[in-house]
Chains A and B, each alone.
Chain A
């Protein structure tokens, strides 16, 4: 479980997060929603150590994450799939996965096989450079690379960005499956609220860096005022 308490983050004079508090329970998908500039990406970057908070705490089980280096946080079992996917285009599919497996405690070939079974297209393209993959395939590779390290927490930043609706649906299905089968704690940042709320158990809505709602996804879906004010049209 990840517990975020009173987290504030600034970029110079601009305050991106203001005393944000919420819990992401183990085995649960927590969606973080909000408009552009709400602070969603900053929140994930702070959890994974890329951004240092001005104040507040982040704990993963008994470990404090705030102000730790990203590499140490990754070694504690936090996998972060950044916005724009972050696959290394100059590497082959397999090299990207080998890099992800660096921290894994399982045998490399077993890990690779597991990911190729989960995402068969990656198996077919294992020797191809990531630059040659489509947007959906790159997203699968980024997910597979994070999963091969066997994280206990998965941070997903806008996984549906730029993907066709069918690919997005398939991806969300995979996230849901992973959460159920592996007991992963997932924090899913999405601008597309409908997509996220369809699979999330819990949701946090950010508005200008503040938490304006923090509740079960079903309750947020049912709250028309909340949806209209902060999420726009949710189908």
Chain B
């Protein structure tokens, strides 16, 4: 294999990894909501977008990057909690089509409101990480300080969620509330609070993801900033299994790498088609997702 091809492959893997962790984070946030409330949140990209705008405008811009990140995440928690209490709570136990329609409508409303208030002009978020790729043997590789920041942040968030669910009392209650709400209540678990917490957590994760995407020098923050990424994250969640956080992350990262290779070696126009083919094939082979053990579905 010549040096050019090797460098191209390494670049594709690194570039795919950077995109993949973002898809994985979006997928993870979708899974968190699905597992706790059985709702497919089509506004999962738009809610964190609002939180990030709030982070930008609520004086954080003047304080620097890290206060902006912190305020955006807190705003994300708030948006998630309020949405669950005010809107989503009325959808539990309703026919499956109701939450889908409501959440699609909510997405449109949020994007419209954001465009009306903040316009559709991209707003850059200055950050301390250079977007310029490092070089290997005199040639640039698809890895920059900013992409390392993205990968490390995503890994920290994913690990944090895993530790929360696996090793803490709160995580145990969140899982129990999703799996067996009635039994959990009989054991003293405040299931209603756990459902709200699931949305808070999910929107928090989504906001971290949105801040990362909007911090990219080449992207900036717009009302539609998460639309395309949400689509790939959604496919990753469906492929990995809507019940499986591990599946979401693995499918997200794998999809990022595969699509990077397709974009490089085939054509960038083939990326979306490939993603849809991956979705269709995986739904035909494993309708419940590659990492979901159970075939039962909670309704």
Decide yes or no: A86 and B185 within 8 Å by CB, A71-B191, A102-B169 being known contacts: no
Query: Using an 8 Å CB-CB cutoff, how does the interface string of A42-84 with B read, 1 for contact, 0 for none?
Result: 0000001110000000000000000001110011000110100
State whether B172 touches A103 (Cβ < 8 A). no
Q: B176: which of A75, A80, A88 is its contact (CB, 8 Å)?
A: A88
Query: B residues within 8 A CB of A86?
Result: 180, 182-183, 186
State whether A99 touches B176 (Cβ < 8 A). yes
Decide yes or no: A91 and B176 within 8 Å by CB, A50-B182, A102-B169 being known contacts: yes
A227 at the interface (CB under 8 A from B): no
B184 at the interface (CB under 8 A from A): yes
Residue of B175, B179, B185 contacting most chain A CB atoms (<10 Å)? B185
Query: A residues within 8 A CB of B190?
Result: 71
Closest CB of chain B to A67's CB: distance in Å? 15
Query: A residues within 8 A CB of B186?
Result: 48, 50, 70, 74, 79-80, 82, 86
State whether A102 touches B182 (Cβ < 8 A). no
B188 at the interface (CB under 8 A from A): yes
State whether B188 touches A103 (Cβ < 8 A). yes
A186 at the interface (CB under 8 A from B): no
Q: A98: which of B172, B183, B185 is its contact (CB, 8 Å)?
A: B172
B54 at the interface (CB under 8 A from A): no
Query: B residues within 8 A CB of A95?
Result: 172
Query: Using an 8 Å CB-CB cutoff, how does the interface string of A144-179 with B read, 1 for contact, 0 for none?
Result: 010001000000000000000000000000000000
B187 at the interface (CB under 8 A from A): yes
| Interface residue count on the A side (C-beta < 8 Å) | 24
State whether A99 touches B173 (Cβ < 8 A). yes
A-contacting residues, B158-184, CB 8 Å: 169, 172-173, 175-176, 179-180, 182-184
B189 at the interface (CB under 8 A from A): yes
Decide yes or no: A75 and B188 within 8 Å by CB, A95-B172, A98-B172 being known contacts: yes
User: What is the CA–CA distance of A71 and B184 in the complex, to the nearest angstrom?
Assistant: 8
Query: B residues within 8 A CB of A111?
Result: none
User: What is the CA–CA distance of A134 and B73 in the complex, to the nearest angstrom?
Assistant: 46
State whether A102 touches B173 (Cβ < 8 A). yes
Q: B184: which of A48, A79, A87, A99 is its contact (CB, 8 Å)?
A: A99
Smallest CB-CB separation from A103: which chain B residue? B188
Query: A residues within 8 A CB of B294?
Result: 90
Query: What band does the interface of chain B fall in when counting residues whose beta carbon is under 8 Å from A?
Result: 10 to 19
User: What is the CA–CA distance of A99 and B176 in the complex, to the nearest angstrom?
Assistant: 8
State whether B172 touches A74 (Cβ < 8 A). no
Q: B185: which of A71, A79, A87 is its contact (CB, 8 Å)?
A: A71
User: What is the CA–CA distance of A100 and B180 in the complex, to the nearest angstrom?
Assistant: 13
Query: B residues within 8 A CB of A145?
Result: 187
State whether B187 touches A149 (Cβ < 8 A). yes
Decide yes or no: A88 and B189 within 8 Å by CB, A98-B172, A99-B172, A102-B169 being known contacts: no
Query: Using an 8 Å CB-CB cutoff, how does the interface string of A118-149 with B read, 1 for contact, 0 for none?
Result: 00000000000000000000000000010001
State whether A74 touches B182 (Cβ < 8 A). no
User: What is the CA–CA distance of A91 and B171 in the complex, to the nearest angstrom?
Assistant: 12
User: What is the CA–CA distance of A117 and B175 in the complex, to the nearest angstrom?
Assistant: 27
Smallest CB-CB separation from B243: which chain A residue? A90
Closest CB of chain A to B194's CB: distance in Å? 10
Closest CB of chain A to B45's CB: distance in Å? 29
State whether B188 touches A102 (Cβ < 8 A). yes
Query: A residues within 8 A CB of B175?
Result: 90-91
Decide yes or no: A82 and B183 within 8 Å by CB, A99-B176, A103-B188 being known contacts: yes
Residue of A48, A75, A88, A145 contacting most chain B CB atoms (<10 Å)? A88
User: What is the CA–CA distance of A88 and B182 in the complex, to the nearest angstrom?
Assistant: 11
Show the binding face of A for B, using Cβ within 8 Å: 48-50, 69-71, 74-75, 79-80, 82, 86-88, 90-91, 95, 98-100, 102-103, 145, 149
Show the binding face of B for A, using Cβ within 8 Å: 169, 172-173, 175-176, 179-180, 182-191, 294
Give me 17 A-to-B residue pairs in the complex whose CB atoms sit less than 8 angstroms apart, sorted by A's number.
Answer: A48-B186, A50-B186, A70-B182, A71-B185, A71-B190, A74-B185, A82-B183, A86-B180, A86-B183, A87-B183, A88-B180, A90-B175, A99-B173, A99-B187, A102-B172, A102-B173, A103-B187
Give me the 10 closest cross-chain CB pairs, A-B, nearest first: A74-B188, A70-B185, A103-B188, A86-B183, A80-B186, A75-B188, A71-B185, A88-B180, A71-B188, A99-B176
User: Knowing that A70-B182, A71-B189, A86-B183 are A-B contacts, what are 14 other residue pairs whose CB atoms are under 8 Å apart, sorted by A's residue number?
Assistant: A50-B185, A69-B185, A71-B188, A74-B185, A75-B188, A86-B180, A88-B180, A91-B176, A98-B172, A99-B172, A99-B187, A102-B187, A102-B189, A103-B188
